[in-house]
Chains A and B, each alone.
Chain A
Amino acid sequence: MKILLVEDDQPLAQGLAASLEDAGLLVEIAGDGRTADFLITTERYDAVILDLGLPDGNGAQWLSGWREQGIELPVLILTARERWSDKAAGFSAGADDYVTKPFETAEILFRLRALVRRAHGHAHPVIRIGDISLDTHSAQVTRAGMPVSLTAQEFRLLSHLVHAAPRVVSRAELTEHVYDGDTEPDSNVIDVQVSRLRRKLGSRSIETLRGRGYRMVSDNTAS
C-alpha cells in the first residue's frame, strides 16, 4: 500500500511516516498543497492522508479540486480542527474519513486499511481468495488457517494483488504501488518476489498472464 502524506509540519510528517513504514506501508511526504497536487496527478497512490492546515491554502480546497478532476483516491483527513463546522467542510470537499490530532498511529492504520479495502469493493475486513485469507486490520495472512510469515515487501505485493483480485494487475501498476519511487525495481525483482509468494501460498495462487501481468486466483478451482 502506497500512501501520500500531505503535512506541512516536518517533525510530524516524518514521525508519522516512520510509524506507517514500520507497519509495512510505503509513504511519500508532500509539505504543501502544490507538491501534493503534482504528486497525485503524476504518481499512483492507494490513499492520501491530508492535513487541512497547509501553508498554501486549505486542504479542503485542494481536495475539492482533486475531486473535480475526477480523482477518486480515498482521502483521510488529518486535522487539529475538531469543530464540526471544520469537519463538515472536509467532508463536503470529498473526504472519506478523518482522524483528529493528536492521533494514535494504530488508528490511522486502521482507517487507511479500511478505506483502501472499501475502495476496492471489499466490505469485510478479511479478504479470502481460495484458502488464502488476508486480514486487513491486523495485516495477517493465513493459508488454510495457518499463519504465513511474509516480509514487508512481500506483504505489500500480496496485499495489492488480493485487493485488486480478480482483476489482472500489470507489472507497471505493481511497480507504482508496491515499490518506493526512489528504488525502481528491475522487472526481475517482481518475478523473484512473485515466485517467493507462490512458494509460501501455493504454486497456483498467483497466475502469470504473459504480457499483461499477474492475478490472484483461487488455488482450489485452478487445480
Chain B
Amino acid sequence: MISADKLRRLPIATRMLASALVLTVLILPAAGALLSWNFREAVNTAFNERLESLLNVVIAGVSYDVRQDTLVTNRQLGDSRFDRVFSGWYWQVRDEGERVLTSRSLWDQRLAISHEPGMAFRTIIGPRDKQLRLLERDIRLPNLDEVLHVQVAASLDEVEAQVARFQTLLWLSLATLGGLLIVLTGLQIRWGLAPLRRIEQSLKAVEQGRQPAIETNLPRELARLADAINTVLDRDQRLMERGRTAAGNLAHALKTPVAVLGTLVERLPQEQQQAMAAELKRLDEAVRHHLARASAAGPVALGAEQELIVVLKPVVEGVRRLAGRRGLEFHSELNSGLRVRIDAQDLQEIVGNLLENAINWAKSFINLTGTVEGGWLVLSVSDDGPGMSPETRQQALSRGGKLDEAKSGSGLGLSIVTELVELHGGELRLDDSPEGGLRAEVILPLAQLRSGG
C-alpha cells in the first residue's frame, strides 16, 4: 500500500500519467463492450430478417400436388448451402402426417416441430449437434386440409464468425487507440511540465553556483514564483553581506579603543599592568572569536564554483610577501583545475589563519599543499618551527584555546580554523611535520566541491 504521505509527494508527471492510464483502461474497454454488444444485436437482427425472407420464399414456392399427394416446390432459394448436405442451412415443410418436403441439405434428418401458434424464433440443436436458429410458421395450402409447418433453420456459426471478426478488429483498434492515447498524454505531460523542469534545473544551477539567479523566462504563473525565489535569494545574500559588514564594523569600532587602552596600560606601573592587560586580552579574544563566527558564511551559502588557486591567490600572495619580509621560504603547491564551492572568504580565512600560524612559528620555511583524496579536499600547512606536544594540540583545537600568549595575532587562529572547518563539515588535524615542526591538515568534504577542468 502506498501511504498517504507518499501519495502527496508523488511527482506531477506520475500523477498525470496515472490518471490518463486509469481513464484509458476504464473507458476504452467499456466503449469496446458497448460497441461489440450493439454489433451483435445488429448482426442478429439482420440474420433473423434473412431467415424471415427465406421462409417467405419457401412458403411462396411450396404447393400441393393433388394427383401425387405430395408437396412440391418450384422455387430455388438461390443459396447453394441448402443443397449441401448438413451445411447448417435447412428448410422443411411438413404436415402432421407423412407429407414432408425438405431442403437437400437436411438429407434424412428432420427438424422438430413446435406446434406453437404464430411465428417464432427458436434455438435448436440440429444435425451434427450444431446450434441452429429456427423460424417456423404454420400455413394452409389450397386443396389441402392439413396445416403445414414451414421451417427455415440456419447455423449460428455465421453470426458468431462475423461477431468474432468484428471483435478482433475492434479490440485491435482500441488497443492501438489506447497506446496512442498514452503516448500522446506522455508527450503532453512533457510539454506541459517543461517549464517546471526548467525551473528545477535552474534552481540546481543556482545551488551549484553556476548561475546567480533563477531563469524568469517562464510561463506567467511560474515566472512569478521564480521572481519570488530570486527575491529571497537576493535578500539572503544582502542580509549575509550586511551581517558580515556589521560584524566587521562592530569589531573595528571596538578594537581601536581596546588598542588605545592597551597603549595606556603599557605605560602603567608593572603591577597594575598585568590585571588590566589580561582583561583587555579577554575582551579582544571575545571580539575576535565572535567576529570570526558571525562573518563565516558556512556551507549554506550558495556560492559560485571557483578554482581553488583563484580563491586562495590573494592569501598565497600576501603570505608570500609576508614570508619574504620575515626571511622565510614559502612553497605553495595547489593543483590547478581543482574547483571548490566553499565560500571564498571562509576558505581564505581557514588557509590564511593556518599559514599565519605557521609563519609565526617557522624557523626557515612553510609549505602549503592542496590535493584531493577520495571524497575530500585536503589542505596541508607545515612548518619547521618547534611543533606542538600532544597536550598542546588538544588545547589548540578546543574553543578559544590560548596557546600563544607570546605572539599576538595567532592565539585564536587555530580555534577559529577549527570552527570554520566544522561549520563546513570538515576536520582539522594536527601532527608533526616531516621537518620537525607542526603540520596542520584541514579536510573538507568534496560534496560541496567538484573537481572539474
Contact = CB atoms under 8 A, between A and B. Distances in A.
A100 interface: yes
Nearest to A10: B260
Interface string B314-344: 1101110110011100000000000000001
B317 A91 contact: yes
Contacts, number: 111
A15 B322 contact: no
B409 A96 contact: no
Given A82-B251, A99-B409, A15 B318 contact: no
Given A80-B255, A83-B248, A104-B262, A88 B317 contact: yes
B262 A102 contact: yes
A91 B327 contact: no
A97 B322 contact: yes
Given A53-B252, A91-B318, A97-B325, A18 B267 contact: yes
B268 to A, nearest CB: 12
A103 B349 CA distance: 20
A19 B252 CA distance: 22
B314 A12 contact: no
B323 to A, nearest CB: 10
Tier of interface size on chain A: 35 or more
Interface residues of B, number: 40
A81 B262 contact: no
B258 A101 contact: yes
A215 interface: no
A19 B262 CA distance: 11
Interface in B97-120: none
A79 to B, nearest CB: 9
A138 to B, nearest CB: 15
Contact of B255 (A83, A91, A102): A102
A118 interface: yes
B264 interface: yes
Most B CB contacts (10 A, CB to CB) among A15, A80, A107 go to A80
A82 B353 CA distance: 10
B216 interface: no
B37 to A, nearest CB: 82
A38 interface: no
B264 A15 contact: yes
Given A80-B255, A81-B248, A83-B349, A105 B260 contact: no
B288 interface: yes
A145 to B, nearest CB: 25
Nearest to B347: A84
A105 B267 CA distance: 10
Contact of B263 (A92, A96, A105): A105
A95 interface: yes
Contacts of B348: 83-85, 88
B288 A84 contact: no
A149 to B, nearest CB: 22
Contacts of A53: 252
A81 B292 CA distance: 11
A131 to B, nearest CB: 25
A180 interface: no
B314 A89 contact: yes
A114 B260 contact: no
A103 B256 CA distance: 10
Contact of A101 (B259, B295, B345): B259
A19 B263 contact: yes
Nearest to A90: B318
Interface string A8-28: 010110011011000000000
A123 B327 contact: yes
Interface in B266-297: 266-267, 280, 284, 288, 291-292, 295
Most A CB contacts (10 A, CB to CB) among B314, B315, B325, B345 go to B325
Contacts of B255: 80, 100-102
B143 interface: no
A98 to B, nearest CB: 8
Contacts of A90: 318
B326 A84 contact: no
Most B CB contacts (10 A, CB to CB) among A12, A53, A98, A107 go to A12
Contact of A84 (B284, B291, B349, B409): B349
Nearest to A117: B327
Nearest to B251: A80
A115 to B, nearest CB: 6
B321 A103 contact: no
A118 B327 CA distance: 9
B293 to A, nearest CB: 12
A114 B325 contact: yes
Nearest to A80: B255
Contacts of A16: 259, 263
A80 B314 contact: no
A84 B259 contact: no
A101 B256 contact: yes
A163 to B, nearest CB: 16
A15 B268 CA distance: 12
A154 to B, nearest CB: 24
B437 interface: no
List the 4 closest pairs (A to B, CB-CB), nearest first.
A15-B263, A91-B318, A84-B352, A88-B314
Interface of A: 9, 11-12, 15-16, 18-19, 53, 74, 80-85, 87-92, 95-105, 107, 114-115, 118, 123
Given A19-B263, A81-B248, A87-B318, 6 more contacts: A81-B251, A81-B252, A83-B248, A84-B352, A91-B317, A96-B321
5 contacts: A83-B248, A101-B258, A101-B259, A104-B262, A115-B325
Interface of B: 248, 251-252, 255-256, 258-264, 266-267, 280, 284, 288, 291-292, 295, 314-315, 317-319, 321-322, 325-327, 344-345, 348-349, 351-353, 407-409
